Amino acid sequence: MFHFTLNFMANTMKNSYKIAWLPGDGIGVEVLEATKIVLDKLNFNAEYIHGDIGWEFWRTEGDALPVRTIELLQSVDAAMFGAITSKPVKAAEEELIPSLQGKGLVYRSPIVRMRQLFDLYICLRPTKAYKGNPLNYKDDIDIVVFRENTEDLYSGVEFNTIPQELANTLKKLSKPFEKFASLNNDEYAISCKINTIKGSERIIRAAFEYAKKHKRRKVTIIHKANVVRATDGLFLETGKKVAQDYPEIQFDEANVDAITMWLLKNPNNYDILVAPNLYGDIISDLCAQMVGGLGFACSGNIGVNLGVFEPTHGSAPKYAGQYKVNPIATILAAKMMLEWLGEIEMAQKIENAVAKTIMDGKVRTYDMGGKNSTLEMAEEIAQHIE
């Protein structure tokens, strides 16, 4: 079995940090501005370096993640990312400035590219029901999702029109393919789900390491190995092997469909979840909604040398410029960043301040039924930083 040295969350503290600051589009700008208020209150010693990312750079340069931003990311300790806007292929092409039109430029999601370029293989999504949050589905939910971030159906190996060579090969090698073989090449599409032993092992090991470090009781592997036998079978079998190295942690497995029901019925039965990319994407949204929705859902994209921390939500164009969305998701993402950098005390201060603010219930953004602004929420949290 593949083994590698894991320096997951084992960073050493520094006197000063370089942080790439990537606001992006729409409310991304507002939630990052709010988060800065909290980081400044902590006296976190960092140089924040702005990085260009998002729709404007697609439109005017044909690249939503310009090379200068990639170079910036190569030189920093971590990054805070707001959100980007993306649009379907046709709209993307139409909005390019005239001099870039018709050049065959193809829009690529900058967040997916960051994950691939820097091998940010862990997508870490903690979901916790803070006491006093009127949006909690049930009390005491505290689930941490580990989503594999670079493979699976997000591998990018896709065909809209099937090359004849591929069709011939599939016909030769796969019995079930026979039912598609009579179709024209443009009458079907193929997206490849590619899962490797290395990719599966490192995300599952990261989940167990996290469980060990944070004294959590159980790791549940999510799959659909009874139907998607090759890839999910590989994921599950790899998981069983990794689990043997952690006898002190309970190992559990669940089908992706079944767990959506169980999560709603008994969320308190779950602790750490680990899943291939697509299932992890879906399940983490379900978990987020149980603890207040997108205003509370934070996310870390973590590799060996770089962590990019962000709220799970997008640029929410309908609220852009209004300073009304909830910055807690992004403030909790900053907490995750501090944790990853080894600044545990500062991370804990954010955690306590967020918990206190939610418990008090005096300041609430619209999603929580309140009227306070994005920046008022951040200022309230900053006030509770001790």
Backbone angles phi, psi at 184, to 5 degrees: -70, 160
Site string for ligand NAI, 294-313 (x = CB under 6 A): xx-----------------x
Is residue 23 within the footprint of ligand NAI (CB under 6 A)? no
- Which residue is it, tokens 């949290």? 381
Is residue 343 within the footprint of Mg ion (CB under 5 A)? no
Among 281, 310, 339, 343, binds Mg ion (CB under 5 A): 281
Nearest residue to ligand NAI by CB is 314
320 binds, among ligand NAI, Mg ion, none (CB under 5 to 8 A by kind): none
66 or 295, CB closer to Mg ion? 295
Q: Segment near ligand NAI (CB under 6 A), from 79-87, 141-149, 178-186, 273-281?
A: 79-87
146 or 296, CB closer to ligand NAI? 296
Is residue 315 within the footprint of ligand NAI (CB under 6 A)? yes
**Contact yes or no for 108/62 (Cβ under 8 A):** no
67-74 helix and 110-117 helix, angle to the nearest 10 degrees: 40
* Tokens describing residue 327: 């910055």
DSSP assignment of 224-275 equals: -TTTSHHHHHHHHHHHHHHHTT-TTSEEEEEEHHHHHHHHHH-GGG--EEEE
Among 32, 72, 83, 290, binds ligand NAI (CB under 6 A): 83
Q: Segment near Mg ion (CB under 5 A), from 79-87, 200-208, 249-257, 280-288?
A: 280-288
Is residue 66 within the footprint of ligand NAI (CB under 6 A)? no
* Tokens describing residue 325: 């969305």
**What radius of gyration do the chain's Cα atoms show?**
22
What is the Cβ-side half-sphere exposure of residue 311, based on CA atoms within 13 angstroms? Answer: 30
Distance CA 337, CA 345 (A): 12
Site string for Mg ion, 167-206 (x = CB under 5 A): ----------------------------------------
Is residue 30 within the footprint of Mg ion (CB under 5 A)? no
292 binds, among ligand NAI, Mg ion, none (CB under 5 to 8 A by kind): none
Q: Which residues of 262-287 are buried (b: 16+ CB within 10 A; e: fewer)?
A: ebeeebeebbbbbbbbbbbbebbbbb
Among 141, 325, 381, 385, binds ligand NAI (CB under 6 A): 325
**Contact yes or no for 246/211 (Cβ under 8 A):** yes
86 or 277, CB closer to ligand NAI? 86
Q: Which residues of 158-182 are buried (b: 16+ CB within 10 A; e: fewer)?
A: eeeebeeeebeebeeeeeeeeeeee
Find the binding residues for ligand NAI in span 103-162 (CB under 6 A). 111
Q: Which residues of 216-248 are buried (b: 16+ CB within 10 A; e: fewer)?
A: beebbbbbbbeebeebbbbbbebbeebbeebee
Distance CA 62, CA 204 (A): 37
Residues 6+ apart with CB under 8 A from 265: none
151 or 281, CB closer to Mg ion? 281
**Contact yes or no for 272/207 (Cβ under 8 A):** yes
Is residue 280 within the footprint of ligand NAI (CB under 6 A)? no
Report how far apart the first and last C-alpha atoms of the chain are (Å, whole number).
47
Among 172, 175, 215, 318, binds ligand NAI (CB under 6 A): 318
88 or 98, CB closer to ligand NAI? 88
Instruction: Tell me the site size for ligand NAI, rule CB under 6 A.
Output: 17
361 binds, among ligand NAI, Mg ion, none (CB under 5 to 8 A by kind): none
86 binds, among Mg ion, ligand NAI, none (CB under 5 to 8 A by kind): ligand NAI
Is residue 84 within the footprint of ligand NAI (CB under 6 A)? yes
The residues binding Mg ion (CB under 5 A) are 281
The residues binding ligand NAI (CB under 6 A) are 83-86, 111, 294-295, 313-318, 325-326, 329, 367
